Amino acid sequence: MFPGIAVDNASLYLDRAWVVTNLGGGISLDNGGYALVRNSFVGGVLDIPAVTASDSTLEGFRRLLAD
């Protein structure tokens, strides 16, 4: 399964967005990926995490992360 958004060694700026109901999770950050998430809702499905980060940076402001 694939996440709603996959970031691999790149930057993501997400503002006022809904990333929900993706079978592979919400956002995946890998290999130095960077995400700035503002005023957004990010949700996973069942036991899948909303956000996964491996060797990456996630900044969030006024956000809701839900599993």
Mean pLDDT of 41-53: 85
The token pair at 49 is 């995490």
Q: Check residue 65 and give its pLDDT.
A: 63
Q: Check residue 1 and give its pLDDT.
A: 81
Range of the domain at 37: 5-66
How does pLDDT run across 22-36, given as a tens digit for each residue? 888 999 999 999 999
Q: Which residues of 17-49 are buried (b: 16+ CB within 10 A; e: fewer)?
A: eebeebeebbbbbeeebbbebeebbbbbbeebb
The mean of the pLDDT values for the chain is 88
The proportion of the chain whose per-residue pLDDT surpasses 70, expressed as a percent, equals 91
pLDDT band at 47 (very low <50, low <70, confident <90, very high): confident
Instruction: Report how many domains make up the chain.
Output: 1
**In 3D, which of 52, 59, 56 has the Cα closest to residue 10?**
56
